[in-house]
Every structure is written in C-alpha cells, then in structure tokens.
Amino acid sequence: MKKLVSMTMAMAMMAALFVACGDDGTDDETPPPAVPTIALDGGDIDQPQEITNPMSVKISVTAPGAIAGFTVTIDSPALTAEMLAKVGLATELNLVNPGSMAEALGALGFPSGEAVSGKTALTFDISALVPMIAQIYNETSDHKFILKVTDAKGKSTTKTLTCHLTGKVALAYNNDADLWANTATVTAANVPDGGSVQYRVKGAADWTDAVLVEGSKYRLAPVYETSKNAAGLDVHTIKAGTGVFAATTYEVRIAKDGQAVDSKEFATAVGDKIPNGDMSGWSKRIWIDGSNNEFPITYPNPEGMKVWDSGNNAFLEQNNGEETLFTPLCRQDETEPGTARLQARMVLGFVFAPGNMFTGDFDYSGFSGTVNFGKPYA
C-alpha cells in the first residue's frame, strides 16, 4: 500500500513539473528579430566596384527590428569635407536625423528622416553620386562608403562599399620648351605599372625615355656623351635623338610593352635666327689706309649685311693689287665652306694678333680701331 502511494506521488510531481515548464512561456516565445542586413543589388558589397558612367549602385537595407539609426561615412580623396560642404553635405551623413543636410540629401535622391526611421526595408541609391567621382577626380584611387544600420533593439550591422576608380591615362605638353637648355616637360597622369613616357623627333625610328621629375611631370632633356679629341681632352656632345631643339616637331607617348597608351605631338618655336649664323655668306669690303690706299678685306657677311665683324683683318689682308700679303685673322675655311676659320698671327714680327669674330663693328682709323660689340636684330 505504501509503495503504491509513493508511485502516485511521483507521477503527480512529474505532471506538475511539465505544467510549470509550460506556464513560464519560454517554449512559445517568438524568435528575436534578425540583425539588419546591407547588400548591394546585383553585386557583392564586400568586393570593390569599378566606377563607370553610368553605373548602378543600389544598396538594399533590411531591419526586421525597425531602423533606429542609419549613418554613412564617406572616405574619399574626391568627396572631401571641403567639396561636400559646398553642396550642403559632410563626410558623416545621418539619414535618420539629417538636420541641416535634409534638403541636400533629398536633392540627391537619398532617403532621410521619416523615410528611414522605423522602416524595416529601404533602398539607398547612390547611382547618381558615384559616377560623379570620375568627373572631378582622375587619379587611380578607392572611394569608400561605410554604412552602419542599427535597429530598435540596438543590434547593428556595418558594411563598407568600396568604389575603385582607375584614372584615365592623360598626356599633355606643358608648353615650356627651353631652347637654351634644350629641355621641355610633359605631364603624364596615371602611367600604368611597367609603363614609361617616351619622346622622339616626329617620324624618327627610336624613342627616348623622358625622366620623371616629380609627381606626374616628366622632363625631355639632352643626354651628353663624352669622347676624347686629338689633344686628349674631353669633348661633350649631345647624344643624337635626345633633348629638344628649335623648329622641330616631337612625338610624346605613354607606352607599355612597346605599345602607345596615349600620345601627343608638339612643335617648338622657330626661335631667333641669327643673321648669317651658318656662315654661308662672305664678301669683301674696302679699307682705306692713312695714305688713301684701298684694300679689300674679308668680311663675314653677305653683301649688304653688317652683323659680324673681325678686328685687325685690315692689317693682315693688305695687298698691292696683285697678291695678298698676309692671311687674315678671320676668313672662310678653304676646305669647308660655311665655316669661319679664326687664326692668330704675329704682326711685324713681335705683335700677337688673335683671331676673332663677333657681332658688332670694328671701325678702322689709320693703324687703330674702335670695337662696338653687339647688333640689334629681330
């Protein structure tokens, strides 16, 4: 009898236990809302998105627990605080409490305020904003949008959308040829890895690498080669195809693997042409000595021009009407026409007369002369 009672009591206790478990309601409680989600329509938000124009950048946000906070932080070398301030925005956007930015956000088509707060799903469309980056910035770069959504339960999700801009290759001549130094510079933006900036005289066979100066500026400059002359002295000459010279058209290119990515042409100015600078014109002029004797003198100008002169040629090229008594200090080389030959000589056996030529005038008066250096010319 006692045993039967004990079994009955045990069964009653077990029943009470089951009833107690059902009374606290834990088995019937609805699962808590899921955390907010942030996804890129038609793409993977965790992967960089290449900026193109046009492009679709629509971000879907879900928050079963209702949106209580939605912020967007902009980290972009193009969309800087200064730039965004000009359109009434900042690098930190609060879409739930937009404050003074509400109007600017609306102009871009961004939801804010009541259109965000308390919602369980919405679309954040920045398809109009992202392509604008390529219009105001041209460097290869990343532009990040850090999105954080918090629900009414305090649960939050943060995602970073990275938009990558591959800068356009661009080449421009800086219009700064220095024809004394034989240099010029070009600006080459976004030279690809392994690429180079090259130049040549238009139509020439070989290209020469330009030298990076700083940033995206490259210099076209002469390369000097050194050799020895007959006297054993160093002679420095510009290597063919290098440097920039007057009255010449040049081709410049950004190249990779021997292929042009971008190219430009520019022509240098003709420059100041020195009259008879090639020494192609020679003539004679008459010098009259103190006894009114006339003597023809070698003159390094064509007939009718007075730009070049040489001192003391009169004393060294006198003749008696039949033959020249002395070789002049300045004359055209007999074996190389178009070349002025200067030669020093002894006069009267004891006076040293150096060969000379200059732009200006040497005016004779008997056995003396006056030098006037320089000539104006266009």
The DSSP result for 138-200, as a single string, is -S-EEEEEEEEEEETTS-EEEEEEEEEE-PPPEEEE-S--BTTTTBEEEEEESPPTT-EEEEE
Position 3 scores a pLDDT of 47
In a domain, 8, yes or no: no
Q: Which two tokens stand for residue 94?
A: 């609060």
Q: Are residues 104 and 154 in the same domain?
A: yes
Q: Are 359 and 371 in contact (CB under 8 A)?
A: no
Find tokens 């989600």 and name the residue: 37
Q: Are 373 and 361 in contact (CB under 8 A)?
A: no
Q: What mean pLDDT is predicted for residues 28-34?
A: 71
In a domain, 91, yes or no: yes
Q: Are residues 185 and 154 in the same domain?
A: no
Q: What mean pLDDT is predicted for residues 192-199?
A: 95
With cut-offs at 50, 70 and 90, classify the pLDDT of residue 302.
very high
At 318-362, the pLDDT tens digits run 665 555 566 788 999 988 888 999 988 887 778 888 999 999 999
In a domain, 30, yes or no: no
CATH code assigned at 103: 2.60.40.10
Q: Are residues 231 and 349 in the same domain?
A: no
Give yes or no for residue 286 having a pLDDT over 90: no
Greater pLDDT, 289 or 89:
89
Q: What mean pLDDT is predicted for residues 171-177?
A: 97
Q: Are 47 and 57 in contact (CB under 8 A)?
A: no
Q: 153: left (phi > 0), else alpha (psi -120 to 50), else beta?
A: alpha
Give yes or no for residue 242 having a pLDDT over 50: yes
Position 322 scores a pLDDT of 58
Q: What mean pLDDT is predicted for residues 207-222?
A: 97
Q: Are 126 and 145 in contact (CB under 8 A)?
A: yes
Position 240 scores a pLDDT of 94
Q: Which two tokens stand for residue 359?
A: 């732009």
Greater pLDDT, 106 or 324:
106
User: Distance between CA atoms of 138 and 167, rounded to whole angstroms?
Assistant: 5
Position 4 scores a pLDDT of 44
Position 324 scores a pLDDT of 58
Q: Are residues 62 and 146 in the same domain?
A: yes
Q: Are residues 321 and 351 in the same domain?
A: yes
* Cα angle for residues 81, 87, 91 (degrees, 5° grid): 30
Last residue of a domain, one of 165, 191, 225: 165
With cut-offs at 50, 70 and 90, classify the pLDDT of residue 276.
very high
Greater pLDDT, 220 or 299:
220
Give yes or no for residue 96 having a pLDDT over 60: yes
Last residue of a domain, one of 165, 194, 214: 165
User: Distance between CA atoms of 113 and 36, rounded to whole angstroms?
Assistant: 18
Q: Are residues 101 and 46 in the same domain?
A: yes
Pick the closest to residue 125 from 75, 99, 100, 161 (CA basis): 161
Q: Are residues 155 and 188 in the same domain?
A: no
Greater pLDDT, 33 or 189:
189
Q: What mean pLDDT is predicted for residues 214-235?
A: 95
Q: Are residues 351 and 324 in the same domain?
A: yes
Number of structural domains found in the chain: 3
DSSP annotation of 5 reads H
Mean of pLDDT over the chain: 88
Q: Are residues 161 and 178 in the same domain?
A: no
DSSP annotation of 22 reads H
**Buried (b) or exposed (e) across 306-323, using 16+ Cβ within 10 A?**
ebbbbbbbbbbbbeeeee
In a domain, 190, yes or no: yes
Position 314 scores a pLDDT of 73
Give yes or no for residue 26 having a pLDDT over 60: no
Q: Are 360 and 299 in contact (CB under 8 A)?
A: no
Greater pLDDT, 343 or 21:
343
In a domain, 29, yes or no: no
Give me the percent of the chain exceeding a pLDDT of 70. Answer: 88
Q: Are 211 and 235 in contact (CB under 8 A)?
A: no
In a domain, 13, yes or no: no
In a domain, 17, yes or no: no
Position 5 scores a pLDDT of 47
Q: What mean pLDDT is predicted for residues 14-23?
A: 45
With cut-offs at 50, 70 and 90, classify the pLDDT of residue 367.
low
Give yes or no for residue 138 having a pLDDT over 80: yes
CATH code assigned at 191: 2.60.40
Q: Are residues 159 and 69 in the same domain?
A: yes
Pick the closest to residue 253 from 242, 244, 264, 245 (CA basis): 264
Position 17 scores a pLDDT of 40
Pick the closest to residue 131 from 79, 189, 60, 74 (CA basis): 79
Cβ–Cβ contacts within 10 Å for residue 63, how many? 29
Residue 337 CB-density burial (10 A; 0-12 exposed, 13-18 middle, 19+ buried): exposed
Q: Are 280 and 338 in contact (CB under 8 A)?
A: yes
Q: pTM higher than 0.95 for the full model?
A: no
In a domain, 57, yes or no: yes
Q: Are 218 and 174 in contact (CB under 8 A)?
A: no
Q: Are residues 141 and 241 in the same domain?
A: no
| Structural domain boundaries enclosing 204 | 170-267
Q: CA-based diameter of the chain, in Å?
A: 175
Q: Are residues 71 and 120 in the same domain?
A: yes
Give yes or no for residue 33 having a pLDDT over 80: no
Last residue of a domain, one of 165, 189, 217: 165
